[in-house]
Amino acid sequence: MANPVTTILGSTMRLTAPLAFAASGEYVAERGGTLNISIEAMMLGGAFFGVVGTSTFGNVFMGLVSGAVAGLAIGFIHANLSHRLNANTFVVGLTLNVLVLGLTSYLLETMNPESLQAGIIKVPLLHSLPIVGEAVFTNRWPMFLLLLIVPLSWYLVNRTRWGLELRACGENPQAADVSGINVNHRRRQGLYYVGFMAGLGGAYLSVAEVGLFNQNMTAGRGFLVNAAVIFGGWRLAGIIGGCFLFGGTDALRLALPALGYSIQPQLLIVLPYLFAILAMCFFAKRNQAPAALAQPFERGLT
């Protein structure tokens, strides 16, 4: 019989990964002042087109690329509607969520794509460690991309001139504009980045974790990403910790019945979202958000 701790930890790692991909991008966008509500659309679009890409090319890598490009396309639409045409970013985000849900549901019925599933990698030596070896160091290979993506997101924001300008747009866009920074252009770039990463997270969910696409398979995970950013106080280490917390609560929903524990299934389903609400309540005021987060910018207005 499998070790219960190993089983739950393994499920936690797998369910944390799609959140961590998207959160790495949302961290960048929100530090630039954009509160992105369309992560759900980006992840769902990435999940669907990840399967389509895998089916079309017969290659998991191309499926991941296809999913990331689909997320990028949604980010492009959101960015240009909200930061070029000055449409309300919340309305745009909610509209995209509904649109992509309906579009992927329709395309699923008409296209019926088949999918391959990514292979499993065992990290030499480490995969033999007790308890954590099988759970952490034996996983499908796309998960290990996070070892590059998470540090990359941190480096872009905190160690590059581009990141300095992006943070200025999130803290004081008027001052950034006076210094010659194109505020809305930087914010659009932040949305492109989160679109790519959220699409990659959705593609991971479909072609690595599940191996197929189901209608509305992201099931609100995009909103969990928003909650994780608040939980982490707009600091990347805390954000990834929030993803791990929400992934762990979701893992309990799947692992506990498999281990023979009888718990009300409706309670298990609502558990991750309950934790998200609690995180919003307890951490939203304690943590310092970027000063201009969710505030539209127009030149000449103060």
All structural domains of the chain with their residue ranges? 18-218
pLDDT in tens, 178-199: 999 999 999 999 999 999 999 9
DSSP state string for 276-294:
HHHHHHHHTTTS---TTTT
The first and second tokens of residue 266, run together, are 């409706």
Is the sign of the CA dihedral 7, 220, 17, 121 positive or negative?
A: positive
For residues 2 and 154, give the distance between their C-alpha atoms in angstroms, rounded to a whole number. 36
Retrieve residue 243's tokens. 């993803």
Q: What is the pTM of this model?
A: 0.94
Instruction: Give strand pairing partners of 121.
Output: 139
pLDDT bracket for residue 162 (50, 70, 90): very high
What contacts 216, CB < 8 A, 6 or more positions away? 44, 101, 105
Contact 76, 192 (CB under 8 A): yes
Expressed in percent and rounded to 5, the helix, strand and coil fractions of the chain are: 70, 0, 25
What is the per-residue pLDDT across 37-90, written as a single tens digit (0 to 9) for each? 999 999 999 999 999 999 999 999 999 999 999 999 999 999 999 999 999 999
